Amino acid sequence: MTIQWFPGHMAKARREVTEKLKLVDVIFELVDARIPYSSRNPMIEEIIQHKPRIVLLNKADMADKAVTEEWLRYYRQKGVTALAINSQAGTGLKQIVQESKVLLKDKLDRLKSRGIKPRAIRAMIIGIPNAGKSTLINRLAGKNIAQTGNKPGVTKAQQWIKVGKELELLDTPGILWPKFEDQEVGTKLAITGAIKDTILNLQDLAVYALRFLEKHYPDRLQERYKLSAFPEDIVELFDEIGDLRGCRMPGGFVDYDKVAELVIREIRTEKLGPLSFERPRDLLRDEATDK
């Protein structure tokens, strides 16, 4: 979905989420497991206040397993419940209900002690565009309710979706904006396909991605593009990939736009395997330098 996040739109999105907050016991904050930091709303804590929250690292099938484990540990250390899930295949979803019960145990016990009949836990999903909110809603509902893909959701009366006996989910998710004013965040969102009609230059994206792969996944890069060694100069790397894949302009020169497009497409379609573009240790380093 392409949303123009003007201040007015942000205020409206925030208002909508705040309104719905009153209806639920717990928030499911959906992020992209490949970029858990960049795919978050920068104001999420401020917006949801003290509402219990579970962070769902979605698209875990596309992320580096070992790095996802690091993220889970990172959240655990912060006292935040986090789960790795794949909404498309439906893996990890049972745990969402279990963890919600754990998180809300005190509240439910309190209600019970006051003689209030136990009721289902009420939840809503919040996330930035393309995080997989509709896919998750449909999976949890067990049928096609929310519209998936990259189109704006259809506005309709709010409904509760029953997820077994113990959970009720708002059928419309809360959509919030990412921290796109940060250039690196924008780049990662574009590489992972969260920003579709990118205003960022494709060659810039590919340069960033190739440098990142060189550093963190050198073997996969080498294998995919049959590189004998890593050239010092990024232009040479573009040349090698272009030569190998026949990305040429009419005169026979390497077409760098074509190389960039190819590299980004192959990353998005997992031709280089599952990749994670940020690690908690980068974040911890940033937090340390901020102080």
Ligand X SMILES: Nc1nc2c(ncn2[C@@H]2O[C@H](COP(=O)(O)OP(=O)(O)OP(=O)(O)O)[C@@H](O)[C@H]2O)c(=O)[nH]1
Q: Is 178 in the site for ligand X (CB under 6 A)?
A: no
Q: Judged by CB under 6 A, does residue 132 bind ligand X?
A: yes
Please say which residue, 18 or 147, places its beta carbon nearer to ligand X.
147
Which of 41, 135, 187, 276 touches ligand X by CB under 6 A? 135
Q: Which of 187, 178, 188, 175 lies closest to 42, judged by CA? A: 178
SS (H, E, C) 84-120: ECECCCCECHHHHHHHHHHHCHHHHHHHHHCCCCCCC
Residue placing its CB nearer to ligand X in the complex, 240 or 278:
278
Q: What is the DSSP letter of 254?
A: B
Task: Give the whole-angstrom CA distance, residue 112 versus residue 53.
Answer: 22
* Nearest in space to 84 (alpha carbons), one of 72, 66, 94: 72
Give the whole-angstrom CA distance, residue 235 versus residue 146: 44
Give the residue with the Cβ less far from ligand X, 152 or 164: 152
Task: Name the one range near ligand X by CB under 6 A: 35-43, 72-80, 94-102, 147-155.
Answer: 147-155
Residues within window 219-258 making contact with ligand X, judged by CB under 6 A: none
Rounded to a whole number of angstroms, the minimum distance from the CB of residue 174 to ligand X is: 10
Please tell me whether residue 124 binds ligand X under the rule CB under 6 A: no
Burial 64-86 (b: 16+ CB within 10 A, else e): beebbebbbebbeeeeebbbbbb
- Residue 61 or residue 255: which is nearer to ligand X going by CB? 61
Which one of 16, 61, 204, 255 is in contact with ligand X (CB under 6 A)?
61
CB of 233 to ligand X, least distance (A): 34
Question: Which region among 19-27, 105-113, 130-138, 196-204 touches ligand X (by CB under 6 A)?
Answer: 130-138
Contact between residue 2 and residue 196 where contact means Cβ atoms under 8 Å apart: yes
The answer to whether residues 131 and 39 touch, using CB atoms and an 8 Å cutoff, is yes
| Closer residue to ligand X, CB minimum distance, 134 or 276 | 134
Q: Site residues for ligand X, window 83-112 (CB under 6 A)?
A: 86-88
What sign results for the dihedral spanned by CA atoms 56, 57, 61, 66?
negative
Cβ 275 to ligand X, closest distance in Å?
12
Nearer to ligand X, 95 or 148 (CB): 148
Nearer to ligand X, 88 or 222 (CB): 88
Burial per residue of 145-179, b for 16 or more beta-carbon CB atoms within 10 angstroms, e otherwise: bbebeeeebeeeeeeebebeeebbbbbbbbbbbbb
Q: Which of 104, 31, 94 is nearest to 68 (CA)?
A: 31
Among 24, 56, 104, 131, binds ligand X (CB under 6 A): 131
Q: Which of 7, 79, 115, 149 binds ligand X (CB under 6 A)?
A: 149
Site for ligand X in 158-177 (CB under 6 A): 175
CA–CA distance, 145 with 91 (Å, rounded to integer): 19
Among 38, 68, 100, 134, binds ligand X (CB under 6 A): 134
Amino acid at 167: L
Which residues here bind ligand X, judged by CB under 6 A? Answer: 1, 58-59, 61-62, 86-88, 127, 129-135, 148-150, 153, 175
